[in-house]
Amino acid sequence: MTETLVPSASASDGPAAPKRLFIKTYGCQMNVYDSERMADVLRPLGYAATDTAESADFVILNTCHIREKAAEKIYSELGKLRELRDIRLAAGQPGLTIAVAGCVAQAEGEEIMRRQPAVDIVVGPQAYHQLPELLTRTARARGERIGADFAPVEKFDALPKARGVTGPTAFLTVQEGCDKFCTFCVVPYTRGAEWSRPVAAVLAEARELAARGVREVTLLGQNVNAYDGEGLDGAPSTLARLAYALADIPGLDRIRYTTSHPNDMSDDLIAAHGELDALMPWLHLPVQSGSDRVLRLMNRKHGRTKYLALIDRIRAVRPDMALSGDFIVGFPGETDADFEQTLDLVRRVGYASAFAFAYSPRPGTPAASMAGPVPAAIARERLHALQALLAEQQLAFNMDKTGRTVDVLFEKPGRHGRQAIGRSPWLQSVHADDADHLIGRIVPVLIKHGQQNSLKGRLMEMALDGA
Ligand code: SAH
Ligand code: SF4
Ligand code: F3S
């Protein structure tokens, strides 16, 4: 089949007519990374990015299957794309090529083709390196579907080495898939089994990013702290060892990783947080519920006591650690008392920021057929109560930085004048005036106000000048 691949054709046949690609991304950071890589794969075919479907020749919806709303959104979006395509065809113009990628593609590929025949390509998360081939085939026979039964290794080997990253921060996928099978979750079905990229491959990609001016990488994995990729010595590495190796790359000053599972928070990783300056004091460590009974029903394989003890151990080596998490309320069988346990755990931990979701039954997962569904109105009430508590904690965490000097990596221009926006070590968004010349640099900033979702700061020279 490789003879139908066309990347070299555009190079040898001279410049092809510019083609416009619009990728709309839903879901987690892994999808953000995948979307960037899809653009990388298609760039040699002459596809340049555009930011609306209206201006595109090729639209990819990179989808998320995690909650029902996320999945259903795709079908309404596809309806709009079909209209756009039909209008063009009626006007005698070239139509629109439509692809569905990501976790909905993996989970319900057949259904997508049935519900929306305008879709040309359905491509799962492990097969998007084949987009050039799929596009070529589509041009010949519209409506063909290719499955996604490939191991991640084939994808990573096939992706171009160069990445089209521009800013000073980047995502870098190091691990994919999940073996945990929480009873509510589709990820083990859409992303497959846990698999880690070899250390050498990760280091090569990181060096390439650093050479492009990237100062901060966020290592991605559905269970990133279960990372066990092959080390340079041939033996399995750990995430901590990978972090040490990455920190040696000149220019790479900041390392984060997400998402972690409490059961994979190993001693060497915790210790690294106390020793390795490049490892930022920010940790997304979802617990989902504070009730042992619900945690058991969720098949989380850890209880609240173990989670709280883990937080204590992490804070013992890194007292300023900003903790983040995910919570599900209204899981089948969750009582008021269970929910109180969640609120209590949140109060004990004190999160810098966290996400709360109402449980959404996903077809095929064990929880979807569990007894005792929680009425939507009660789930909503609990969701609001938990979100209010988390918002309170986030504001307190941000306000606590007022009057302190923090190192900010400036990432992009702000909306007003010469303002720039960057990140604190704790992943807070920091806005500073007259800082747009500092994008890509790490600079001390005096924090003037901590707000709900960001910090407002002043550059230190200005603060010293009293300006
Ligand atoms: N791998 C990560 C996150 C997976 S999905 C982890 O293990 O934590 C991101 C979050 O979506 C989950 O942490 C969970 O809080 C939420 N989620 C997953 N399935 C859900 C469902 N069926 N209903 C509501 N929220 C869900
Ligand atoms: Fe889903 Fe649980 Fe795996 Fe996270 S650990 S991806 S919540 S099954
Ligand atoms: Fe969604 Fe798939 Fe990520 S289901 S959360 S896009 S792994």
Beta-carbon contacts of residue 53 (< 8 Å; ≥ 6 apart)? 22, 24, 59, 80, 81, 84, 96
Quote the CA–CA distance of 265 and 288 in Å, as a whole number: 16
Ligand 1 centre distance from Cα of residue 326 (Å): 7
User: Of all atoms in ligand 2, which is nearest to the CA of residue 259?
Assistant: 4
Q: Is 331 in the pocket of ligand 1 (CB under 6 A)?
A: no
CA 333–ligand 2 middle distance (angstroms): 20
Burial 227-256 (b: 16+ CB within 10 A, else e): bbbebeeeeebbbbbbbbbbbebeebbbbb
**Ligand 3 atom closest to 125 (CA):** 2
pLDDT for 151: 61
Q: Is the torsion defined by CA of 227, 228, 229, 233 positive or negative?
A: positive
Interacting residues of 367 by C-beta distance below 8 A, sequence separation 6+: 183, 184, 297, 298, 331, 332, 359, 361
Which ligand does the CA of 365 lie closest to?
1
**HEC sequence for 65-114:** CCCHHHHHHHHHHHHHHHHHHHHHHHCCCCCCEEEEEHHHHHHHHHHHHH
- Residues in a beta bridge with 325: 354
Tell me, in angstroms, the distance from the centre of ligand 3 to residue 220's CA: 12
Would you say the CB of residue 222 lies under 6 angstroms from ligand 1? yes
Q: Which helix (H) or strand (E) holds 349?
A: helix 336-349
pLDDT of the residue at 10: 36
Structure-token pair, residue 204: 């090569």
Please state, as a whole number, how many other Cβ atoms lie within 10 Å of the Cβ of residue 292. Answer: 16
Query: What angle (nearest 5°) sits at the alpha carbon of residue 402, between those of residues 398 and 405?
Result: 110
Determine if ligand 3 sits within 6 Å of the CB of residue 318: no
CA pair distance 98, 369, nearest whole angstrom: 34
Cα 177 from Cα 196, distance rounded (Å): 9
Instruction: Give pLDDT, residue 46.
Output: 85
**Residues whose CB is less than 8 angstroms from the CB of residue 167 and which lie 6 or more positions away in sequence, other chains included:** 214, 411, 412, 439, 440
Angle of the 267-275 helix axis to the 304-317 helix axis, nearest 10: 30
Q: What is the pLDDT of residue 463?
A: 52
Q: What is the pLDDT of residue 6?
A: 28
**Using a 6 Å cutoff on CB, does residue 61 contact ligand 3?**
no
The H-assigned helical ranges of 194-331 are 199-211, 239-247, 267-275, 292-297, 304-317
Cβ-count burial of 95 within 10 angstroms (0-12 exposed, 13-18 middle, 19+ buried)? middle
Token pair belonging to 8: 């070299």
Q: Which two tokens stand for residue 387?
A: 């979100």
Among the bound ligands, name the one nearest to the CA of residue 30: 3
The pLDDT assigned to 8 comes to: 32
Average pLDDT, 10 consecutive residues per value, the chain (467 residues): 30 57 96 96 89 96 94 94 96 93 94 93 93 79 46 81 87 94 92 94 97 97 97 97 98 97 97 98 98 97 97 98 98 98 98 97 91 97 98 98 97 93 98 95 96 95 52
| First CA to last CA distance, the chain | 65
What per-residue confidence (pLDDT) applies to 161?
83
Give the C-alpha separation, 304 to 307, whole Å.
5
| Cα angle value 302/152/58 (rounded, 5°) | 115
Ligand 2 center to residue 181 CA distance, Å?
A: 6
Q: Could you tell me the domains of the chain?
A: 2-151 (3.40.50.12160), 165-280 (3.30.750.210), 282-287+314-397 (3.30.750.200), 405-464 (2.40.50.140)
Ligand sitting nearest the alpha carbon of 285: 1
Per-residue confidence (pLDDT) for residue 288, from 0 to 100: 98
> Which residue in 170, 172, 143 sits closest to 159, CA to CA?
172
